Structure 1
Amino acid sequence: MSKHRSPLAAVVAPVKAVTIAPVKALFVSDAREGILLILVAIAAMIIANSPLSDAYHSLFHATLPFTPVPKLDNLHLWINDGLMAVFFFVVGLEVKRELVEGDLSNPMARRLPVLAAAAGMAIPAVIFILVAGDDPVLSRGWAIPAATDIAFAMGIVGLLGNRVPQSLRLFLLTVAIVDDIGAVAIIALFYTAQVKAMWLIASVAVVAILAVMNMRRVDNLMVYALAAIVLWVCVLNSGVHATIAGVVAALMIPMRNRKGNPLLVKAEHGLAPWNAYLVVPLFGFANAGVDLRGIGLDGFFAPLPLAIAGGLVLGKQAGILSAILGAKWLGIAKPPAGGTWMHIWGVAALCGIGFTMSLFIGTMAFANNNELFEQAKLGVLTGTLISVAIGYTLLRLAPQADASEGASKD
């Protein structure tokens, strides 16, 4: 793909090869998504610390005069529980694509990224718990530093151009995708409210209908979209977080229609730009605004922000690097070829960019405590910025390396 090719061109271009995942194509060489998220976060911070602060919070949290869904009575809830279902739908499409035909379909190719992602989720959680202490209220945020933001991280890599070997781009992307799988599982298992049996049964019934449509290879994406909306309504009212409906619905999309033409890829191509340029930036703008007025050093070093930032910065690097070193020492997987250990360290640091998923988990962990959610946002933004600075600096200064002289050389 051309270095300067617009991601939007992928939407209208013919699908030339189903072996190329469209979301991957969007993020491998284009830094626009990452830059957009940075600008959105900066804008939210500026507005939240300006005379427009009250208007900013009122815009998202004021009760709407009318809502078709009673549980979503303000714009913030519509974005987090409604629009973000589209984000998780795209994540689900990419996950299925990778598991069936992509890098995660090859046991050897996925071994190292899976190990790295698992350690890169576990160690940040451990650091969070150690720093936050045994406070049961704060402990609800243990999963916040476990996630990696694909768009943000790949956007930074895009800014570095060919300084990052292709093998490490692929490694970072795969780790982030596995992170997403883990984050979805965490949300489903640990951030589910009291389940309402009838709505859950209705959700299962809709999933069964989607499964039948999948087996029959129904190729009308609009039918799947309508069924996905019904599933979202059922899951929203069941007590399980509504965004899980997006992932489940995506997994029901067939890879190909009855004629053998790619169907999932078509859906992914159509939604990826909307996700990258509308859904995620809008979520970031609605959730990244932290009012820093009156916050001194004590605020930054409070247990919650410190635990989250420490998990993202130290935990991600420690987890991923230890997994790579451990896998090499045990002889079960080799480090990514084509780069030095400095490249690998830089990529491990970029995995500490939490942003979208970390903020999202924060909204659930502290849904009824705005003060702690503000602290959580501060921790996410601080940890993300430090991770960007470390990762970018390391990769910028790393020497050029090729596949025969990289870190994988024994």
Structure 2
Amino acid sequence: MPSHPAPRGRALGRGSWPEASRIASILRRETVGGALLLVATVIALVWANSPASDLYATVRDTRIGPAALHLDLTLGQWAADGLLAVFFFVAGLELKREFVAGDLRDPRRASIPIAAAFGGVLVPALIFLLFTRGDSTAMAGWAIPTATDIAFALAVLAVISTHLPTGLRTFLLTLAVVDDLIAITIIAVAYTSSLALVPLLLALVPLALFAVLVQRRVRSWYLLVPLAVITWALVHASGIHATVAGVLLAFTVPVIRSARNGGPDAGPGLAEHFEHRLRPLSSGFAVPVFAFFSAGVTVGGLSGLGASLSTSVTLGVIVALVAGKTVGVFTATWLMARFTRADLDDELSWTDVLGVSMLAGVGFTVSLLIGELAFGPGTPSDDHVKVGVLLGSLLAALLAAVVLRLRNRVYRRICEAEALDEDQDGIPDVYQRDGR
């Protein structure tokens, strides 16, 4: 009797209806955050290049906090070290949610965005090193173009088209979250110049207490917030970037309800509760404030811009974001589809994947953070990084807009077909037919 080959999976498929609805909700919230991020960036750029630029620098460099606790930081540092910890806490919750209870708990579905994220980290880093070869100081910024900014990319996506298939939206969101995790790992390993073991070991105590409380489903902010702050402060004092504390705290939070309350089918756990509460704070306040203090680069007119564009750092960041991200994400996705049992979903074409790969080149928040860690805030190289990140992200967004707008008519036709195929329970029948 002839044997039949095992069925092939669908790469970037539509997923389940609950997951599609959740992703759509996240997209709406991140789109608002992206708009606020853009406004904060424009204000910072205008102010830093106005006659009142000295006042901007004075505000950014104002120091507050107790020096005895190693927390005598400038406002810019508070934004980078403190507020971004909230951002990475939410990113950590989202990542854990995807792999514990989301569609990506299936290794076959998770492997593609993970591979794409690694491709989108490796290729841009190699391109940046190629541009800065021979300059050991400039090469320290190799990780700058490795991360995709979730808020900016999703805001661009909302402007480009409201009809993007859910599979691609999930792919972009998961890709951005995974490479944020890769970036924070790089920050912890490559950009920790000195390590104080005592504060790091002490940080395990409040972290463990936080984990015990959340595992017992305690939601009392007056218990959890002090433990989180103490953990953050001790990690900061250890020499590791304090945003790492946000990811560690997030990974302790349970995603599903306990077995005694009905098991996984009983509903979401604390992770979704915290994400719902903190995502508006992250995307609506923490990230825009960080952008305001970090994006204010004094360009110095056309001559200053031209001087920045002549540096290997600026050119390396631009090419790595625009070309490196596109090649890395697209190639990794294609290789996974080519050499594994995963075909591209019938609704999609490789042009769609190309457009989203270009959109992954919209880097901002983490790229600016790594630039400051690599070269120091306010240094000439850090200013060159800011110019490169801003121009590279803008160019990547424009190229992605051209490609995805050409596909907009196809997206609209798919959405209209599914709208006609929806029954009275409000769930498109295509999800019910597929058992999702």
Same fold (TM over 0.5): yes
2:3 aligned residue? none
Residue deviations 1:282-311 (CA, integer Å, cap 9, x gap): 111110111111414232131001111111
Q: Deviations along 1:348-400, whole A, 9 cap, x unmatched?
A: 11100111111111121112661111111111111101001101111112263
Give 1:129 deviation, angstroms.
Answer: 0.2
Instruction: Measure how far apart 1:21 and its partner are.
Output: 8.4
Bigger drift between 243-252 and 68-77 goes to: 68-77
> How far did 1:267 drift?
0.8
1:404 is displaced (CA, Å) by 12
> 1:74 aligned to 2:81?
no
Q: Which residue of the partner structure matches residue 160 of structure 1?
A: 160
Deviation at 1:233, TM superposition (A): 1.0
Structure with the greater alpha carbon radius of gyration = 2
Q: Which residue of 2 aligns with 1:235?
A: 235
The secondary structure found in structure 2 opposite 1:334 is strand
2:372 corresponding residue in structure 1: 363
Q: Which residue of 2 aligns with 1:280?
A: 287
Paired with 1:164 and 1:18, the residues of 2 have a C-alpha distance of 17
Q: What is the aligned partner in structure 1 of residue 418 from structure 2? A: none
Normalising by structure 2, report the TM-score.
0.83
Percent identity, aligned pairs only, is: 35
Amino acid at match of 2:41: A
Aligned residues: 389
Q: Which moved further from structure 2: 94-103 or 307-316?
A: 94-103
- Displacement after TM superposition at 1:153 (Å): 0.6
Verify: 1:302 aligned to 2:311, yes or no.
yes
* Matched AA of 2:177: I
Q: TM-score, normalised by structure 1?
A: 0.88
Aligned to 2:384: 375
In structure 1, what residue type is equivalent to 2:105? S
Identify unmatched segments of 5+ residues in structure 1: 1-16, 406-410
Q: Kindly provide the CA deviation profile for residues 121-174 of structure 1, in whole angstroms up to 9, marking residues without a partner as x.
A: 100000000001132211111011000011111111111233422221111111
Does 2:251 correspond to 1:251?
yes
Within 5 Å, give how 1:39-54 maps onto structure 2: 39-54=39-54
After superposition, the Cα gap between the structure-2 partners of 1:100 and 1:85, relative to the gap in structure 1 and judged at 3 Å, is same
- The amino acid across from 2:409 in the alignment is Q
Q: Residues 81, 22 of structure 1: CA spacing in aligned structure 2 closer, same or farther, 3 A cutoff?
A: farther
Report the Cα offset of residue 104 of structure 1: 2.7
Contact 2:83-2:286 at 8 Å conserved across structures: yes
Q: Which runs of 5+ in 2 are unaligned?
A: 1-16, 263-267, 415-436
Per the alignment, do residues 326 and 20 of structure 1 end up closer, same or farther by CA in structure 2, a change over 3 Å counting?
A: closer
Q: How is 1:200-349 mapped onto 2 (pairs within 5 angstroms)?
A: 200-256=200-256, 259=261, 262-293=269-300, 294-349=303-358
| Mapped contact 1:125–1:142 kept (Cα < 8 A) | yes
User: For 1:238-277, what per-residue CA distance to the aligned partner results, in whole angstroms no more than 9, with x for missing partners?
Assistant: 1111111111111112225554663221111011111111
Give distance in 2, aligned partners of 1:23 and 1:333. 22
Shift in CA distance, 337/229, structure 1 to aligned 2, threshold 3 Å: farther
Query: In the TM superposition, what whole-angstrom CA distance separates every residue of 1:300-350 from its partner, at most 9, and x where no partner exists?
Result: 131001111111001000111111222222134333542332222111111
Name the SS of the counterpart of 1:295 in structure 2. helix
Match runs of 1:191-202 below 5 Å = 191-202=191-202
Aligned residues of 1:19 and 1:101 also touching (Cα < 8 A): no
